[in-house]
Amino acid sequence: MIIKNLRFIFTLLKLKFSRMMVFRFDFFGAFFVDSSLFILQLLMFEAIYSSVDSIGGFRRGDMIIFIGTFSLINAINMTIFFFGTYDIPRKIREGELDYYITKPVNPLFRMTFENINPGSFPLIIASGFIIFYGISVLDLKISAVGMAVYMIWVLMMTLLWYDISIILRTVSFFTFSSAAMEQLEENLLPLNMKLPGVAYKGIFRFLFYFVFPYGIMATFPTQYLTGTLSWLGMVYGAVLTCCFTLFMLWFWKTGLRNYKSASS
């Protein structure tokens, strides 16, 4: 099954590259836009944190790694699944989901990987440079094993991001409009890209560590890399990701059973 899925993803990727070679501006345009946004984001963070020594215990070097980590997670998201899953609510409303249900491939799997965007891949590399710059600022000695575990944390938090994204879009199976959910995501993400989770207290900590755990996505990998993530935090992050993934899969299957196709 794994080999079959990998072959399917490879086929989708070849088709994507074929379309992009016909319309080359799709690649270079996406690269230019994403790169410009990335540079503007760095300049914004530099302006905000240039005169701040510490935020919730995060020093300047920690903040640089945090920025790079959130950018890395976002870049992986934009490269792999964002453009395939973004318009799930529209496909549900307009009955386009019928096309996916009738194919011999899991509909969520296909939508996740059908619109991979190579134009965002350079941002992954750029984010890596920011992370290594933060490591140099803190003068950290990171082993190959430590960096590998850090990348596992990054991929795990990317999965958590994906889980939340699908859960919010699955709401469309049960409502006429999911605009409120999409606006909620659009407002919460920028906030958590500016502040590390360690800065939240009280109800905000509960909200961004449990209900909408955007607050841990870049914070936990950063804390692991800098040696400040406790064993309790490691267990919490792993268990929370597993719980959200299981809930997302259950919620999606429940939504499909509730789906009223265009032909019904």
Residue 263 within a domain: no
3-state secondary structure of 24: coil
Task: For residues 73 and 159, give the distance between their C-alpha atoms in angstroms, rounded to a whole number.
Answer: 9
Residue 243 within a domain: yes
Highest mean pLDDT pick, 52-66, 170-184, 195-209, 241-255:
241-255
The CA radius of gyration of the chain, in Å to the nearest whole number, is 19
The pTM (predicted TM-score) of the whole model is 0.84
pLDDT beyond 90 at 239: yes
pLDDT beyond 70 at 33: no
Structural domain total, the chain = 1
Percent of the chain with pLDDT over 70: 77
Task: For residues 88 and 182, give the distance between their C-alpha atoms in angstroms, rounded to a whole number.
Answer: 11
The parent domain of residue 201 ranges over 2-258
CA dihedral angle for residue 118, residue 120, residue 123, residue 125, rounded to 10 degrees: -10
